[in-house]
């Protein structure tokens, strides 16, 4: 998962309140509650900003994002799976986050494996949000069975 910030200047000013559109493919209720709390906290600290959250079905996110990019109508912020973090910087549609990375303590503040997907040509274009540990589990007796089995 990565947080992406797009470069289009689409912040809308209306009576001194700016709107930030935030897309997320997080579908679990607990994930959406977490985002709701984060948005509420952000808005209370930034009363001149209104965050509009739009949840996108995981299966629809690619088509929606590509259509938005083609039409120049992307959100200001998106929380999407990390493959976009590696492909979108080359298109020039993401804002570099080097200053934000420094504010957050630099690259050493993040897990290296997740951070490797966040950079492109020496700049950071996304921030790791979460990772999924991939683990191989096996039963102990399988190790014995495999070691006793001749492979042909």
Are 4 and 126 a contacting pair, CB within 8 Å?
Answer: yes
From the candidate CATH numbers 1.10.10.10, 3.40.190.10, 2.60.40.10, 2.30.42.10, the one assigned to the domain spanning 2-148: 3.40.190.10
Question: For residue range 11-46, what is the model confidence (pLDDT) as tens digits?
Answer: 454 557 799 999 998 888 999 999 999 999 999 998
Distance CA 122, CA 95 (A): 13
Q: What are the tokens at 1?
A: 């998962």
Average pLDDT over residues 61-76: 90
Q: What is the CA radius of gyration of the chain?
A: 20
Burial class (CB in 10 A: 0-12, 13-18, 19+), 82: buried
Percentage of residues of the chain with pLDDT beyond 90 = 36
Cα dihedral 99, 100, 104, 108 in deg (nearest 10): -60
pTM above 0.85, yes or no: no
Torsion over CA: 100, 102, 91, 81 (sign): negative
Predicted confidence at residue 105, as pLDDT, reads 93
Task: Give the pLDDT confidence score for residue 15 in this predicted structure.
Answer: 56
Sign of CA dihedral 49, 22, 79, 69: negative
Ranges of each domain in the chain: 2-148
Cβ neighbour number for residue 51 with a 10 Å cutoff: 19
């Amino acid at each position: 998962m990565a947080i992406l910030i797009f470069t289009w200047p689409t912040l809308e000013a209306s009576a001194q309140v700016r709107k930030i559109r935030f897309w997320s493919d997080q579908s679990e209720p607990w994930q959406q509650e977490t985002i709701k709390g984060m948005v509420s906290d952000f808005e209370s600290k930034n009363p001149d900003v209104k965050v509009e959250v739009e949840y996108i079905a995981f299966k629809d996110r690619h088509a929606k994002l590509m259509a938005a990019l083609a039409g120049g109508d992307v959100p200001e912020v998106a929380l999407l799976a990390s493959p976009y973090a590696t492909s979108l910087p080359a298109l020039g549609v993401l804002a570099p986050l080097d200053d934000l990375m420094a504010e957050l303590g630099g690259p050493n503040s993040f897990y290296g494996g997740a951070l490797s997907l966040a950079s492109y040509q020496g700049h950071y274009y996304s921030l790791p949000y979460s990772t999924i540990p991939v683990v191989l589990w096996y039963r102990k007796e399988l190790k014995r069975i495999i070691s006793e089995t001749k492979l042909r």
